Structure 1
């Protein structure tokens, strides 16, 4: 049963991010194939019509280069999100799109803001700060990996290049940080072993009393293999791995 659940979990980690990336490619294909103008459905700040772009803008891209540059980080980061933060992955994505889009609508220039980069910045920011707040080596390692791969993206939260929605990037960065604080209780905590408990006394541990100072099992076992009366010695490391 455990294997069955793990199988479905693994499928979800890959399937959901892959579906979203495939969806934005289908939207771009339909726009080119049927000569649609989806750009008008992007976020146009401080206009009522532009509010619809909060929902639709992540699906719309201006060029094949724009689409390709967003596809890989979106796939990698969303897979990391579903793997490490499965219980809150969907709220992060859905509310991340809505909140970062609304912030873009509030502070953006009077132009159409399109693309999934706002969501990408939400994921980069959330995964990084979440790992820092967690103080858990696996999540910190994930944060360092994100910095290594996408750390240079921080420069694009400032108006350094014409034609790039730095407002959308900045909104995503702020949203991710905010979510890392709001969802702080959902941080995965490292497991504590019995010997890490404050009231642990090694001399009272009934399990360790069966081993000598070299880690060998010294208690006689009541089995056919132990009828000769010799202590059965089992290396502690192997014994632990079998459990």
Structure 2
């Protein structure tokens, strides 16, 4: 008859003749180095998004007893975690916004200071009012650069001061280079248009052509730059200053509608041509297309 409860020799109370263990049992905790920990994993919480490098660091920490380094709760470089803007990046953006505001304020204040100083000089030296644009007069062609600074009377300069300062601020907000590029387009195209079509024997003065050019540039630049922020700015300005559209039409005696019309054309051309106001994404796309075209030509 076989013994189903036979105990092998050397195990427990076998045939060793001793009342103790003949051989140690393989109990669950007799070899702790090969057993899972009872309270958590010393390697830290399980990270399903850990890179191979991070997994190697965890293995080294377990093998050599290294202390794990502090890891932030959210790591943007790992997939699956939301992308949080770093404090340094937020600081750069805040600093850039501050510089843009300061740039816009400098141009707005500078515009007001210049036209009002010139207006005061006009009261002392009335003859300088003649430094406006004289159509089809070859000697008066360089005066297209001085005519925007002159005004006929107090009502004339007041009507140009507030919108001119606002538009100068918004254009200058994009940077010094953008402001001077837009202003150059408006002054040259607007002045040449007045010089060609203004009517012989007339004198055209005032910053209204410049004001119209800045406004049109602000209205259209977002569509050419593909910037939602600039498009929204243009829509708001178009809503509040929609009445200015009548200024480009003839009808009011003594008002240079030619300056308004051709100044607007200058602003439109500036919005279409200028690239210094492009967002970084659009600038990168244009550069990539240029490099691709160059590679095709060389190939």
Normalising by the residue count of structure 2, what TM-score does the alignment of the two structures yield?
Answer: 0.59
User: What are the superposed Cα offsets for residues 118-172 of structure 1, whole Å, 9 maximum, x if unpaired?
Assistant: 1111111111111233343211111111112221111111102111000011101
Query: Residues 166 and 117 (structure 1 numbering): CA distance in 2 closer, same or farther, change over 3 Å?
Result: same
Q: 2:268 aligns with which of 146, 154, 177?
A: 177
Report deviation, 1:97.
1.2
RMSD over aligned Cα atoms:
2.2
Report deviation, 1:7.
4.4
Is 1:83 paired with 2:168?
A: no
Is 1:62 paired with 2:152?
A: yes
Query: Residues 157 and 189 (structure 1 numbering): CA distance in 2 closer, same or farther, change over 3 Å?
Result: farther
Q: Residues of 1 paired with 2:174 and 2:235: CA distance?
A: 15
Matches within 5 A, 1:94-109: 94-109=184-199
Partner of 1:112: 203
Is 1:132 paired with 2:210?
A: no
Give the 3-state SS of the residue equivalent to 2:126 in structure 1: coil
Q: Which segment drifts farther, 10-19 or 150-159?
A: 10-19
Report deviation, 1:8.
4.3
The gaps in structure 2 that reach 5 residues or longer are 1-90, 283-299
Assess if the C-alpha contact under 8 Å between 1:136 and 1:190 holds in 2.
Answer: no
Report deviation, 1:71.
0.6
Normalising by the residue count of structure 1, what TM-score does the alignment of the two structures yield?
Answer: 0.71
Q: Residues of 2 paired with 1:178 and 1:98: CA distance?
A: 11
User: What are the superposed Cα offsets for residues 171-207 of structure 1, whole Å, 9 maximum, x if unpaired?
Assistant: 011111111111257432679xxxxxxxxxxxxxxxx
Report deviation, 1:11.
2.1
Q: 1:45 aligns with which of 132, 135, 141?
A: 135
Give the 3-state SS of the residue equivalent to 1:37 in structure 2: helix
Assess if the C-alpha contact under 8 Å between 1:136 and 1:189 holds in 2.
Answer: no
Assess if the C-alpha contact under 8 Å between 1:134 and 1:189 holds in 2.
Answer: no
The gaps in structure 1 that reach 5 residues or longer are 192-243
Assess if the C-alpha contact under 8 Å between 1:54 and 1:102 holds in 2.
Answer: yes
Q: Residues of 1 paired with 2:151 and 2:203: CA distance?
A: 11
Query: Residues 185 and 7 (structure 1 numbering): CA distance in 2 closer, same or farther, change over 3 Å?
Result: closer
Q: 2:233 aligns with which of 119, 137, 142?
A: 142
Report deviation, 1:98.
2.0
Give the 3-state SS of the residue equivalent to 1:84 in structure 2: coil
Q: Residues of 2 paired with 1:162 and 1:107: CA distance?
A: 16
Count of aligned pairs between the two proteins: 190
Assess if the C-alpha contact under 8 Å between 1:132 and 1:143 holds in 2.
Answer: no
